[in-house]
Amino acid sequence: MAEATLLISSKNYSSWSLRGFLLARLSGLTFEERAVDPDHPSTKADLLLQSSSIRVPLLMHDGIEVWDTLAIAEYLNELRPAAHMLPKDRAARARCRSIAGEMHSGFSALRASLPMNLHAFRPGFVVWSAAQADVDRIVEIWRECLATWKGPWLFGAHASIADAMYAPVVTRFLTYDVRLDAACQAYCEHIMNWPDMREWVAAAKREPEEIEELEIEF
């Protein structure tokens, strides 16, 4: 019997739902997924970046409801400390929290210009300057972490909250044919080979619904 329920929206389009799923899997908590109606106006508002207050993903556990991915991450870390969702080293924990928070609150140009779409591939896609600045900053974060903690995850040998937060960015880079250096490309390949990620992507590609606004050729 599942210990919790995770409310999610589209697996193809919702980067926040993917983060919630990966965080729950990292914790080792057993949970069942429940999908919200993709045609509901609030769901589309979330996917189209028109609202920052939609309560999806939503983790329901032991009579407690937790929404917002960072709140979910901290709740699961408290609940399952043995999962080591944050690095053991204090300096690494501080960096992990900082870059997870930066992803949570920043990179708006990237989100708007390169929406998550696991069905799509846009070879030769032209990234505009504001989004390119976001790409450059993300690549800088990855390079620093991989050089300091030696990979293959951002903080060494184990996946962390930060990897769950940046995993949807990896899919965006692949969808929009973003060119990366060897170290960052290897990190992207590692994320895409993450069994939980492979499971999510396979399910996303089976989703029949499309949101027309996110299928536009830029």
| E strand or H helix that includes residue 101 | helix 90-105
Residue ranges of the chain with pLDDT lower than 50? 50-53, 216-218
**Domains, the chain, ranges and CATH?**
4-83 (3.40.30.10), 90-201 (1.20.1050.10)
Which pLDDT score, from 0 to 100, does residue 50 have?
41
Q: What is the pTM of this model?
A: 0.91
Residue 96 to residue 192: CA distance in whole angstroms = 20
Would you state the pLDDT for residue 192?
Answer: 98
Q: Is 59 helix (H, G, I), strand (E, B) or coil?
A: strand
